[in-house]
Amino acid sequence: AAHLRHRQRRREELRRVYAELEDRIAERTADLTGQIAALERTKAILRETRDAAVQAGKLATLGQMSAGVSHELSQPLAALHTFADNAQALLARGRYDDVAENLQMISELIDRTGRIVRQLKSFARQEAATPQPVSVASAIDHALMMLEPRRRELQAMFHVEPCGDLQLLAEAGRLEQVLVNLLRNGLDAMHGQTAPQLHVRAWAEGAMAHIAVRDHGPGLSADAQRRLFEPFYTTKPAGEGLGLGLAISLTIVESYGGALNAHNMADGGAEFVLSLPRASDA
């Protein structure tokens, strides 16, 4: 009888221990669930904040480029007006071959203006965070088109090495935003030079694709190299930039698992290298 009572006490003790253990597990699970939910909310807030900063950076870039863009659009619009007037005068004189030639020029100018407007709209559009294969050559071409007014103003030359069908994982608009920032910074670094030259090249290396933008300016000071990607750090005169371009560019690149680095060249100038995963190795 004593043995049975002992076994009964052991069973009751085990049941109590199991009950306590289950309660602790339930409490811990609830605690972890709450922590996970809080972490997800924090991550969502960070994503929203990052996306808002990226979009603000796009609009700030467009604001800086607005005068050049306005000039870029005013030229074909003025030409359209001239060709339309000419076509009317030629039509009145019965010079139909010349009228046809004028209409062809009008059509080409409309295409050119449309390309500029489409590129601006694409650049300004807020995109969902869905990385996909992006053509490097196309992204470089679009970024160069955005900066054509600034290039012409400085009488600069762009040297772009062919990169074939190289693709990387990103979003086209955001990749172009980074490239516009790097190219514009390169042009600004050579302000005042006669016929400044900017070099762009891209290549694949293992699972990564790299795009390098190289200028022939004064290079990066030790302080600039140390603080280059800090928000609001800028070497430009007051009113010519908030110092957010590179900080936002780094945020974009890192969100795709990439990197952004800069170094001085041995023969002068600086080179920025953007690295992102290759699409073929997704």
Q: What is the DSSP string of 39-101?
A: HHHHHHHHHHHHHHHHHHHHHHHHHHHHHHHHHHHHHHHHHHHHHHHHHHHHHHTT-HHHHHH
Give the residue extent of every domain in the chain.
65-120, 127-281
Token pair for residue 51?
């996306």
> How many Cβ atoms sit within 10 Å of the Cβ of residue 200?
20
Please report the pLDDT score of residue 282 as a whole number: 42
DSSP annotation string for 173-236: HHHHHHHHHHHHHHHHHTTT-SS-EEEEEEEEETTEEEEEEE--SS---HHHHHHTTSTT---S
Pairing, β 270-277 against β 259-264: antiparallel
- For 21, other C-beta atoms within 10 Å of its C-beta total 10
pLDDT score for 68 = 56
Per-residue pLDDT of the chain (282 residues; tens, 9 = 90+): 676 777 777 888 888 877 788 878 777 777 777 777 766 776 665 566 556 556 656 655 566 556 556 656 766 777 777 778 888 888 888 888 888 888 888 887 777 777 666 656 665 565 556 788 999 999 998 888 878 878 888 899 999 998 889 999 988 888 888 898 899 889 988 988 888 999 999 999 999 999 999 999 999 888 888 888 776 667 666 545 556 678 778 888 888 889 999 999 998 899 999 999 998 744
**pLDDT at site 272:** 95
CATH superfamily of 127-281: Histidine kinase-like ATPase, C-terminal domain (3.30.565.10)
User: Is 146 exposed, middle or buried, given 0-12, 13-18 or 19+ CB atoms closer than 10 A?
Assistant: buried
